[in-house]
A = this chain, B = another copy of it.
């Protein structure tokens, strides 16, 4: 998606350790006009697969998911990070390892809001090694729901998350795929997409 790539080129900051900071428009301050353009693009990509729900994970996926949901006319469910484990059987839960924060945390979705009748689109802001996405997929599978697709704002194409998910047969559409970046020159190279 040209608009997003241009914005990443303009306002993204490449830092050492393969860090791409986009917190001026995507995941701290949020440019809602850009989110609307992204939502329309997700609708163009996934508009014909009959989704009835969008699933995301707190916190930075929520804004993108809510804006996108307007184009699909469906509700959003966000997976919650939780201190507690599933003790009462009322939630689906999984564990996600965060490389950024160097810790493992529990993620839950209430059983009330995900069922075998659901055909879901999973949306998140970033896809890198795929740890968060694998956790979401684990929850969706536990519910017996169907994954119609995975929509990502920015994929780090040089990490293995996207490749692995596609090899497993998931339809992953990333609005921008960064294939390489250089924290000394600030250069960002995007994958050419159809």
Contacts and interface: CB of A to CB of B under 8 A. Distances in A.
Interface of A: 23-25, 28-33, 35-36, 58-59, 62-63, 65-67, 69-70, 73-78, 80-81, 83, 101, 103, 109-110, 112-113
Given A62-B59, A66-B66, A67-B66, A113 B80 contact: no
Contact of A63 (B25, B66, B81, B101): B66
A48 B77 CA distance: 33
Given A58-B62, A63-B66, 7 more contacts: A24-B112, A25-B75, A29-B110, A30-B69, A62-B63, A63-B63, A63-B65
A67 B64 CA distance: 10
A139 to B, nearest CB: 13
A30 B112 contact: no
A70 B32 contact: yes
